[in-house]
Amino acid sequence: MLQKVYDWVDERLDITPLWRDVADHEVPEHVNPAHHFSAFVYCFGGLTFFITVIQILSGMFLAMYYAPDIVNAWESVYYLQNQVAFGVIVRGMHHWGASLVIVMMFLHTLRVFFQGAYKKPRELNWVVGVLIFGVMLGLGFTGYLLPWDMKAVFATKVGIQIAETIPVIGPIAKTFLSSGEIIGAQTLTRFFAIHVFFLPAALLALMGAHFIMIRKQGISGPL
């Protein structure tokens, strides 16, 4: 049945050459763990992408139940964990995945740095990777407030105070993040919008550019 559907679409859009161009790409020998034990360090990038996909899918599930206002935010999270089927599992995946994706990305960044994979001709890809790291940190920071419990509010307050110490743009960053003098309803709404719309859009665009450049330049050589 699936083959018939594929054949029907392929007959009209000729998608097989595009798929073959992706699937038939040769992987260098030095990233094959069967030949080189050190090849496992090349898995950090793929693991980061895999966890990111889990974060996106679990986040979509959580967004269907979350209420981004100070009256109902905590109650919606409580309902999700205690009343929705598998809700506690999905939220746990999203919660721990938020930390794990940072760890994997940090290890991937270390691998690229110490193996010199940021050098010519991959300088631009290194810059894009650093921007992705920044977006991931932003996702972690904005998502921390969303459960709207005391721990989240006070941790966000500390984070905004740190942002305020940035030279020149500190006061602007504080006003932008808090949307006022105190952390309140507008802050929660703004963090929700940044976490769900703006940063994911930036992340997808940067990841697309990252993968295109990897495809164009190939995987970097061994140390």
**137 found inside a domain:** yes
Asked if residue 210 lies in contact with residue 199, where contact means CB atoms within 8 angstroms, the answer is no
**8 found inside a domain:** no
Domain span at 146 = 30-217
**213 found inside a domain:** yes
> Distance of CA 157 to CAs 95, 147, 191, Å?
20, 14, 13
How many domains does the chain divide into? Answer: 1
Percentage above 90 pLDDT, the chain: 72
Task: Quickly list DSSP for 65-130.
Answer: T---STTTHHHHHHHHHHTSTTHHHHHHHHHHHHHHHHHHHHHHHHHHHHTTTTSTT-HHHHHHHH
**6 found inside a domain:** no
Residue 76 makes CB contacts below 8 A (sequence gap 6+) with 65, 66, 67
**195 found inside a domain:** yes
Residue pLDDT, tens place only, 177-209 = 998 788 999 999 999 999 999 999 999 999 999
**13 found inside a domain:** no
Residue pLDDT, tens place only, 66-116 = 999 999 999 999 999 999 999 999 999 999 999 999 999 999 999 999 989
Residue 35 is predicted with a pLDDT of 62
**5 found inside a domain:** no
Q: What CATH number is attached to the domain comprising 72?
A: 1.20.810.10
CA–CA distance, 43 with 31 (Å, rounded to integer) = 9
**7 found inside a domain:** no
| 190: nearest Cα among 177, 174, 181, 203 | 177
Look up residue 4 and give its two tokens.
């018939």
pTM: 0.90
